[in-house]
Structure 1
Amino acid sequence: MDIKQYLDSTYLKTAEQSSISEDKNIEIVKNAINEAISERFKLIMIRPEYIVLAKKAIDVSNSKLLVGTVIDFPKGVSSTEDKCKEALTAINNDVDELDYVIDYEAFKRNELDYVKNQVVECTKLGLSHNKVVKWIIEIAALNNHEIVQITALIKNCVISNFNESQYDKVFVKSSTGFYVTQDGSPNGATFSAIKLMIENAFPLPVKASGGVKSYEDAIQMINLGVKRIGTSSAKEIANNEITNSDY
């Protein structure tokens, strides 16, 4: 097994969030892109404004690295129209994968028709342009019952509206890594939550993001059945090194 082909190397902080200049943040993004190229990871996950930068570096290096970006990140409360507009810009910049944040607050308010329509329309946009689509459900904001229900909602929307050949291109993803929990509990992927997601997403694939910080954790996630792992510690995980990263 090549663990690097499971790893989406991730850098999603803004300059403001890191308390650094935009120039310094761009330097970090460039380093992350170049590392992902040299380490031959599956994908680099970056904010939309850096897609073109990544694509240029990949072309120069003749690399097979994929580029993913986040849509309506990190809260997911924008309208379906605005989500699609942001996604289309990323598509026009030649992104490979779109990670939408689902409106989990609307889901919790039981606005299910709205959420279902959002899943269908945004997924349709991605698949029609041959992009992989992932839906971030933000498990730290949900209880176990809600994790089961929102995962099943996404699965049922896909099964009801798309061809079986497309199922493997629509993921359910655990976390943004930016949600702030009230009690200091984990804000990323946990083994218990991932088990629930895998059980209720099938036949859709699952991505574990946030909280996977060691080679052992990554292997355990893969053994559970996840197909991708989002982490800012991809190199450390691949080399079985210790990381202090918060994502």
Structure 2
Amino acid sequence: MIRDLDKRGGRSGVVPTDKDLSAEDIGRITDRVREILAQGGGAAPAGALLPPDKVAKLIDHTLLKPEATAEEIEKLCREAVQYGFFAVCVNAVWVPKVKALVRGTPVKVCAVVGFPLGAQAPEIKLLEARRALREGAQEIDMVINIGALKSKDDRIVARDIRGVVEVCNEARALCKVIIETSLLNDEEKVRACELAMKAGAHYVKTSTGFSKGGATVEDIRLMARTVAPRKLGVKASGGVRTYADLMKMVEAGATRVGSSNSVNILQEATQMAGKR
């Protein structure tokens, strides 16, 4: 279970610095990174096939390409409602339209923030998230400051995440933290997950789908093992295009999957269910 949300956080639009990581915090995170990497990763057990309704509830039906049209967004929402996907994930500019299109259905509205590079100032991401939430988003997928992570500036990374987490908590919304695994080594992947946990995030997510690569089984295993103590969710995104892809991610520890090929995945799941 994902841990309960709370309501901490201010409303000033300024990311607080009084909660910055201490030297002791950074030391503990470094020790934890070493511990996780020393554990290694075993093979994920193969599980039973998931029925189509359960597959649908794992999926964020996604359309993030910059050239997406209003007609394509409408189609995305119709499909999400028809097939029962958990959420629709879009660029924040489409949130009001998506909210109107899925109103009265269980489908959640998810918006991306700091997308796709994560290179905005923390205050900009905070304001972007706040506006998306005010307009109807119920989940925020934010991109971390990747350059700060690779520069080992843990305080900046944590502050960046915390600002968005706190406005999400105010709105009783989920915050998923995109770490862009294809740009990181294993030590950086674990450190990014540790910082996301420390900052209060609710999920960690592999990828934007706009970089060098997407989700891999190995990365999902590593991320799931890292965040297990805090029971964070793990979202696999980027390159998940078939039912077989989805099942590999779920067996490795993913609790949510982002895909633009969701309808085909669900159709494959339905076909597999019919063969049993």
Instruction: Give the structure-1-normalised TM-score.
Output: 0.84
Which of 190, 210, 223 does residue 251 from structure 2 map onto?
A: 223
Runs of 4+ in 1 over 4 A off after TM superposition: none
Q: Deviations over 1:124-178 (max 9, x none)?
A: 11112100100000001101221111112212332xxxxxxxxxx7100000000
Which of 142, 147, 151 does residue 100 from structure 1 map onto?
A: 142
Whether the 8 Å CA contact 2:158–2:198 is kept in 1: the answer is: no
Larger radius of gyration: 2
Q: Which shifted more, 39-48 or 219-228?
A: 219-228
Would you say 1:172 and 2:189 are equivalent positions? no
Q: Distance in 2 between matches of 1:210 and 1:109?
A: 25
Identity of aligned pairs, percent? 29
Which AA in structure 2 matches 1:218? L
Q: Distance in 2 between matches of 1:36 and 1:176?
A: 20
Which AA in structure 1 matches 2:157? V
Would you say 1:208 and 2:236 are equivalent positions? yes
Q: Distance in 2 between matches of 1:26 and 1:4?
A: 24
Would you say 1:12 and 2:102 are equivalent positions? no
Q: Distance in 2 between matches of 1:79 and 1:56?
A: 30
Would you say 1:43 and 2:94 are equivalent positions? no
Whether the 8 Å CA contact 2:83–2:263 is kept in 1: the answer is: yes
Whether the 8 Å CA contact 2:87–2:110 is kept in 1: the answer is: yes
Any unmatched runs of 5+ in structure 2? 1-49, 270-276
Q: Deviations over 1:17-62 (max 9, x none)?
A: xxxxx7xx21111111111111110000011111111111112xx3
Query: May I ask how many residue pairs the two structures share in their alignment?
Result: 215
Q: Deviations over 1:95-115 (max 9, x none)?
A: 110001010111101111111
Deviation at residue 85 of structure 1 after TM alignment: 0.5
Would you say 1:114 and 2:156 are equivalent positions? yes
Which AA in structure 2 matches 1:121? G
Structure with the larger RCO, 1 or 2 (CA within 8 Å, 6+ apart): 2
Q: Distance in 2 between matches of 1:95 and 1:113?
A: 27
CA RMSD of aligned residues (A): 1.3
Whether the 8 Å CA contact 2:62–2:259 is kept in 1: the answer is: yes
